[in-house]
Structure 1
Amino acid sequence: MPDTLLLVDIQHDFLPGGALAVPGGDEIIPIANALMPAFAHVVASQDWHPADHGSFAEHHAGARAFDIGQLAGREQILWPTHCVQGTPGAAFASDLDIAGIHDVVRKGDNPRLDSYSAFYDNHHERATGLGQRLAARGTRHIHVMGLAADVCVKYTVLDALAEGFTVTLIVDGIRGVDMAPGDTEAAIEAMRAAGAVVVTHDMVLG
């Protein structure tokens, strides 16, 4: 049985109809549900922003969602308000079998730093604790899927590889924002180039 499956940000606000909807985001939920029983350990990351998070466009005068602004003196994509702590949008997708999740890691709770990766904030100033938890279990290999391919999945995979984990990317279990055409394909290639093995979920289930 494979050891660890990491589900990245499968939350209402990233699904069609959500505040920061990823096209086709709901299509990965059956894949996650099918995979979870095949793994000894399932971890889910959860975007968990305070309402005053500095990455939200509404907190920048005259800004619109997806503009490039500044946060704590650094360049920042300004996002629609999403995944605010305790709101329905921050909850895991209703159709996701949350009974199959063994551990949850929350990220993005510092209003002055965004946090795409499930391992660190964007500037590596603070770890989420995920790396330490996995290491404590003796985990060295993780399978990754979730949302969004070209943002949080990409940075999670790159951080995992940099931390010394081997990573299998479940490519039919991801969907991207594609702010620019081709972003998702470029993200997949970046993850592959960094060392991720790219498979489909049926290859994992055998």
Structure 2
Amino acid sequence: MAETPSAFHLAPGDALLIVDVQNDFLPGGSLAVPEGDRVIPPLNRCAALFDRLGLPVIATRDWHPRDHCSFREQGGPWPAHCIAGTPGAAFPETLQLPANTLIVSKATHASQEAYSGFQGTGLESRLREAGVERLFIGGLATDYCVLETVRDALRAGFRVVLLGDAVRAVDVRPGDGERALQEMLGAGARLARCEELTA
């Protein structure tokens, strides 16, 4: 069924991609995204809907070694965060991921950064194998990992719907989040709210 501005009808070939909703990116975490916890309720609604329809749900996570190149101690821009196996790298208990969620770990090598969920993870081939053609993407943060994941998804030929009520930005520079949003839309992503998705 054709998409309309007010309704996005889910069908086989659709998948939900949740980007890096981890404790360290939430309020109180070592690299907290402002209002990062507010993405969780809409993502929970989306995940439940996709699960009910038997559609794939994928969740990416930063899974860094302790000496990762992105950390300030190693000359990178960020405080240490999402170190593999630590509470900060865990998904929050409030994020209700379906039992069969595909977990994709990224940035697992000390010398390589990976903002995108596609970088070095084999995600594209796994989506192809599952017959995925359209990705609904939300998570953290709009101006980094969400932006890079959307860029790579579009380059790979997937159709992308950005869940505008389920993303938040770091905004290191004021307006970074809005600029990232406009770039994604300009590159071909569509914008929806979780409540607009229908079976």
Aligned counterpart, 1:196: 189
Residue 205 of structure 1 deviates from its aligned partner by: 3.9
Aligned counterpart, 1:132: 125
From 177, 183, 186, give the equivalent of 1:184.
Answer: 177
Once residues 173 and 131 of structure 2 are traced to their aligned partners in structure 1, the CA distance between those partners, rounded to angstroms, is 39
Q: Structure 2: give runs of 5+ residues left out of the alignment.
A: 1-9
Aligned counterpart, 1:123: none
Compared with structure 1, are the counterparts of its residues 24 and 205 closer, same or farther at alpha carbon in structure 2 (3 Å cutoff)? farther
CA-to-aligned-CA distance 1:113-135 (integer Å, 9 cap, x gap): 11000001xxxxxx311100000
From 165, 173, 182, give the equivalent of 1:172.
Answer: 165
| Secondary structure of 1:26 counterpart | helix
Amino acid in the other structure paired with 1:81: A
Once residues 111 and 205 of structure 1 are traced to their aligned partners in structure 2, the CA distance between those partners, rounded to angstroms, is 41
Q: Structure 1: give runs of 5+ residues left out of the alignment.
A: 61-76, 121-126
Residue 87 of structure 1 deviates from its aligned partner by: 0.3
Once residues 96 and 115 of structure 1 are traced to their aligned partners in structure 2, the CA distance between those partners, rounded to angstroms, is 23
| Secondary structure of 2:197 counterpart | helix
Higher relative contact order (CA 8 A, sep 6+): 2
1:42 matched to 2:57: yes
Once residues 150 and 205 of structure 1 are traced to their aligned partners in structure 2, the CA distance between those partners, rounded to angstroms, is 27
Whether contact under 8 Å (2:58, 2:104) holds in the other structure is: yes
Aligned counterpart, 2:150: 157
Aligned counterpart, 1:30: 41
1:21 matched to 2:63: no
CA-to-aligned-CA distance 1:152-200 (integer Å, 9 cap, x gap): 0000000000000000000110000000000000000000011000111
Residue 51 of structure 1 deviates from its aligned partner by: 0.2
Matched pairs, number? 184
Once residues 36 and 176 of structure 1 are traced to their aligned partners in structure 2, the CA distance between those partners, rounded to angstroms, is 21
| Secondary structure of 1:99 counterpart | coil
| Secondary structure of 1:172 counterpart | strand
From 58, 77, 85, give the equivalent of 2:73.
Answer: 58
From 10, 13, 20, give the equivalent of 1:9.
Answer: 20
Q: Please, what is the CA RMSD of the aligned residues?
A: 1.2
Aligned counterpart, 2:110: 111
Aligned counterpart, 1:71: none
**Equivalence map 1:85-104=2 (5 Å):** 85-100=84-99, 102-104=101-103
Residue 55 of structure 1 deviates from its aligned partner by: 1.2
Deviates more, 1:92-101 or 1:155-164: 92-101
| Secondary structure of 1:98 counterpart | coil
Once residues 100 and 176 of structure 1 are traced to their aligned partners in structure 2, the CA distance between those partners, rounded to angstroms, is 28
Once residues 132 and 192 of structure 2 are traced to their aligned partners in structure 1, the CA distance between those partners, rounded to angstroms, is 20
